[in-house]
Amino acid sequence: MFHLLNKNLNIQVFLLVVLAAWSAWLIFTQMTLLPLEGSMLMFQRLESLWVSHDLIVRILLVFLVLAMTMGVIRQCSVNHFYENTTYMPGIFFLLMLNCGKFLHYFSPALLTVFFIALILLMYTPNESSANLKNRIFTFGLAIAIATLLDINAFGIVLFLLLMISINNVTSIKDNIILFSGLLFPYIYAFALSYIIGTSTEFIQSWRDLSVFVPIKQFTQLRIIEYVAMAFFFLTIIILAVRDKRYLDNKLIIIRQAFTNNHLLLFSMLIFLWLGNVALPIALVYLILPASVYMAVAAIPKRRCIIVDILVVALCVLLWL
């Protein structure tokens, strides 16, 4: 099914529009604000914006979802995982996002996924070192803002450091620029809170953070949620192995770019357990790299029915 869908761009566009409309409908009709206790202070400040400008916030969230979709589509495009134009990565991303009910809650995790997509929109793994150096400060700035909204976003820091170290030779100066970008929003936030007299609240917010919530609540999940998570990781492993076999005869640049997807999954999987976004909602941190695995796995014709079964079964389990 998905292999055949790869060959029809018109149907892909139609499904992408339908899934995007479904996402918008969920945002406007189902989404509620996740409890703010124990979250980052900057995310808590969004409560007043949510209450006073509910419609505007929901419209912005629709655009954020579209940006995430564009990010995963671009990742496959610029890295040449596909020979022709395709929207399959975006279809898989929206399918999991909607079926997993991740849009039922406005959580810090959604903002982190957006910043991951933003990095992917700006970053090209095989670009020249000169171009990359011009963006290092911007990367650090974006990631720092993400960490002020969600502590789990420190996973992006690990991802970026691993990605740059593997794909590019960076100097000490480049690393200083990167960490300057990371520090700048923190310095600005603390300075602003000091000027307006809320520095004590700013510091206390870090002390009041709820951490390791997924670990603490792991034993309280429903049986179907354990099954869904186990099947999620099993699916990722199977598809990653299938993808590796398909990409083994591709250019080293393409295989190197696919390694970045492993790094993203690895980094976010480690930091998934850190913050206050409980399972199974926290799985949203992983669906962007997971959608890349699905999109690449659907390319080969051989045993393509396996991909269909795994993806459909996973979506059903996430829905339940």
SS3 content of the chain, % helix, strand, coil (to 5): 75, 0, 20
Which pLDDT score, from 0 to 100, does residue 320 have? 82
Number of H helices, E strands in the chain: 16, 2
Question: Average of pLDDT values for 131-156?
Answer: 77
Residues in the chain: 320
pLDDT averaged over every residue in the chain: 82
Higher pLDDT, 286 or 36: 286
Looking at the chain, the whole-number percentage of residues with pLDDT higher than 70 is 82
Contact 100, 49 (CB under 8 A): no
DSSP code, position 107: -
Question: Average of pLDDT values for 1-15?
Answer: 82
Structure tokens, 314:
């996973």
Residue 99: is its pLDDT beyond 70? Answer: yes
Q: What is the Cα–Cα distance from 82 to 200, expressed in whole angstroms?
A: 52
Q: What is the Cα–Cα distance from 71 to 65, expressed in whole angstroms?
A: 10
**Among 243, 259, 254, 257, residue whose Cα is nearest residue 298:** 243
Which pLDDT score, from 0 to 100, does residue 37 have? 77
Higher pLDDT, 86 or 66: 66
CB proximity list for 273: less than 8 A, separation 6 or greater: 212, 214, 215, 282
C-alpha angle 148-120-41 in degrees, rounded to nearest 5 = 10
- Model confidence, pTM: 0.89
Higher pLDDT, 131 or 102: 102
Q: What is the band of 257 on the pLDDT scale with cuts at 50, 70, 90?
A: confident
Q: What is the band of 15 on the pLDDT scale with cuts at 50, 70, 90?
A: very high
Contact 115, 156 (CB under 8 A): yes
Question: Average of pLDDT values for 210-223?
Answer: 87
